[in-house]
Structure 1
């Protein structure tokens, strides 16, 4: 999800896009086609109806890249299809990351990268939206409403169902019978949709940072898990903080912000400007449930957001907001990121579960949402109020409250049966964005599922640097068994900023 992926671009930056194909092939491939030494790469587009039952809305050209196995003389052992999440993210620009992650398999497996409709080379969408968490929820909602108004009936074309159908059309185009699916973050949602729609076309599934198709709009599982994660950070933090104090500070500061938000002057992390911001409980929840889940970006020597939380909370309880201001910089609108925010919003508002009737008038939706908040069971959202977690992350809670009604639009419902294939679910135990409890919930919908919880990692464990995760994933795809998990015990603890007495 958008701000949780900010660190993703930085982690990928060191994986240079690989040099080109032989010169004789250059004239036959599109400029956007990636290249990988030692591999033939086939790139093309496939024309797809924007809305299946409304040809008047036209078509969208979906781009894909097929990276052939290096041992081209032998038949492929399988074809791996990937999605990096978002929604609104595209895999073709991340070729370097995926070839690195899947390197042990690429001698005899093909790799399929399909840019989802509305992203990158697949008709990038632009409804003029920029996600600005610091602007306050009312302004965010009005921006979302304008996006929907700009797109009008075309909004119906941007759903996880449509993207799944695109992937299967590409599968048929390249002549592959079944796919090994890898999804990350929202990509886990997408791959669950694909698996339900095309169960006979699935060979195996790997899900990393798992989002259920029936996700809680109030982010309850992450909110309930976060105090325990904070406690674990301190317990593993070599005396940098006290676990009981950190959890107490979280509850105290959340309650204080609920009653009295604080005013901060937040510098722009990318320039010299600054903004005066009313920092609210939902912004604290956003830092906890979205930004902190990035861990340390895969660098065990860096102090990530989670490692800064105990000291920030302890200072804030005493009225010192210096560390809070520094962390609040992460809520600035992202510029030049890897997410297409127009597509992200459209997909989320079309698909994600909501606490109102989408067919209801706007004023009635608001009443239905407030009623749902008032009926929320005690403890559902941990130390935060339901309203705060509902406003903590894009795409959930009341984010889509003003999304326009479009004739014929239908929210996604998890229909169909899941395939009887091997499934591997990976979770970081420091991930409140998509906590391990969500992966356990999804695992129960499959017959042959294995969940591995990796210590000291946040959202998207694939950036773990030792090769442990790469080995687990590769062995699983090759043999349907990840093999020994002993390597996870060597993953270093997060570095923690010491709490000032």
Structure 2
């Protein structure tokens, strides 16, 4: 993205964007938004191309080590008014190394590779930052890609230091212990309705008129401004989870600006799914993944002694829930914190050994592992509240939501009968959207026609709970020429750069050469987790979560 001289990019950028908009696919008028927003994107991109990004040592607030460097890019708050209020998005980068292997290092021969530009990454959310992601350049799975690409992370609008959004006091958001009833009473439902209304009002109070501008369409427009600021005619981008949704919006808005694009763990982009139906489907999928975890624990009963069947494991889990409801572990881990920790096992199977160990040790009278894993960290309270605020604002702004509580109650009560693990927790998280004070958009129709896009790569795990597999199939139908790689029998969320060599080979071949497999390729599942939780495994998991911290959908 940086190979083009700034002024050369400036001369062609406007015509590129305008030609993209004029060549929008049928139904693309909704996509481009108003003509003033389309023109505003051109103006902002031209301005960013001229200014570029000055990368320097990262501020201490980012807590990012060398060789990462940081800078900012300016975007309009409102693309219909590009000369009005502007906000700055923070950006991080590790420059392409130009070589793989290292003499006296990994023992491999040194290979010099040509630079292919910048690879921009988004881990999803909404509300997650990829500022730490360039650290992945040092990991073996990313070495060859990092040799050819500048690895670029950024904090989307509202996230981190990018004009941060907040909806309530961080201490109130992080209070613990909390309840998490599987089948809530009517009085508890009334309490959560009241809290949802207060939260929505808090977002409006702190953000003011800016609240309506936190949208997926604006995230896609911001991405094009970032592309221009990096000095690139075409974008190479990898999005995970929610990052696949606004990445797909980008591909539909700016198909002629796409060089290579990877969609890892795809959100279902069908407008009828955004976002209410997607969240219901997610809750159903988490029930299946929770069963996968319990089946694995039962297989290793000799290690954990939690039962030889998934049902026995569930009963022992309920014993732990009942105990921490009566007496919170460490004074902070109640049912809400226990559920949040176990939800992590639904996202990532590299958490399975740690979580099973925590349950097992707790029932033996040792609560320390559970306390260590499930206690909220005060130092993370501000970031977590910020992430949740952006998540809520984007999803509530993006689409209409039911405004009648009876609809939510009917749908989630029925769903909880077959999927009790995550249903109501997911409902409470999204309920502020029922009382949202900002205008709602109609979801855009993600779609490209034959020949509009270069080949794009979709990666999906068959049993992914956060972004259920049908979403990948739907995205492939909508993006002409896209190729799907499926990891069969696996459910880890976010599979790029993970333990599956087959997936990584497809990813690397695509990013380095542009080559894709046939329309649909399959990979066998990666190995099941080792039932013994080792410190080194925990450290790797922590690093992976820092590099791919997507929450909620991601």
Tell me the TM-score normalised to structure 1 length.
0.68
SS in 2 for 1:217: helix
| Cα distance, 1:263–1:62 mapped onto 2, change above 3 Å | closer
Match of 2:266 among 210, 213, 222: 210
Q: Is the 1:88–1:340 Cα contact (8 Å) retained in structure 2?
A: no
Q: Residue 56 of structure 2 contacts residue 69 of structure 2 at CA under 8 Å; is this kept in 1?
A: no
User: Does the CA-based 8 Å contact 1:289-1:433 persist in structure 2?
Assistant: no
CA distance in 1, matches of 2:367, 2:475: 34
Q: Is the 8 A contact 1:210 1:434 kept in 2?
A: yes
**Could you say which residue in structure 2 is the equivalent of 1:417?**
447
**Residue correspondence of structure 1 range 41-440 to structure 2 within 5 A:** 44-53=71-80, 58-71=85-98, 76-98=115-137, 100=139, 101-130=141-170, 131-132=173-174, 134-136=177-179, 138=192, 141=196, 142-143=198-199, 145-213=201-269, 214=273, 215=275, 216-218=278-280, 219-226=282-289, 228-230=291-293, 232-234=295-297, 237=300, 245-247=309-311, 250=314, 263-268=325-330, 274-275=331-332, 277=334, 279=335, 286=340, 288-297=342-351, 303-305=353-355, 307=356, 327=370, 332-337=375-380, 340-352=383-395, 360=403, 365-373=404-412, 376=414, 382-384=418-420, 389-392=423-426, 395-396=429-430, 398-403=431-436, 405-406=437-438, 409-411=439-441, 413-418=443-448, 420-428=453-461, 431-440=464-473
C-alpha displacement of 1:493: 3.1
Deviation at 1:451, TM superposition (A): 2.7
Question: Using the alignment, how far apart are the partners of 2:501 and 2:382 within structure 1?
Answer: 26
What is the CA–CA distance in structure 1 between the aligned matches of 2:146 and 2:125, rounded to whole Å?
25
**CA shift at 1:36, angstroms?**
6.1
Q: Structure 1 residues 467 and 371, CA, compared in 2 at 3 Å: closer, same or farther? A: closer
Separation of aligned partners in 2, 1:311 and 1:414:
47
Number of the residue aligned with 2:507: 473
Per-residue deviation, 1:96: 0.7
Gaps of 5+ in 2: 1-53, 100-111, 180-190, 534-554
Q: Would you tell me which structure has more helix in proportion to its own residues?
A: 2
Aligned length: 433
Deviations 1:188-211 (A, max 9, x none): 333233223222222333233433
CA contact (8 A) 1:265 1:325 kept: no
Structure 1 portions without partners, runs of 5+ = 1-27, 269-273
Shift in CA distance, 74/438, structure 1 to aligned 2, threshold 3 Å: closer
Cα deviation for residue 153 of structure 1 reads 1.6
Contact 2:332 2:375 in 1 (8 A): no
Q: Check whether the contact 1:461–1:469 (CA below 8 A) recurs between aligned residues.
A: yes
TM-aligned CA deviation for residue 336 of structure 1: 3.2
> How much does 1:104 deviate?
0.4
What TM-score, normalized to structure 2? Answer: 0.63
Equivalent residue for 2:18?
Answer: none
Contact 1:43 1:65 in 2 (8 A): yes
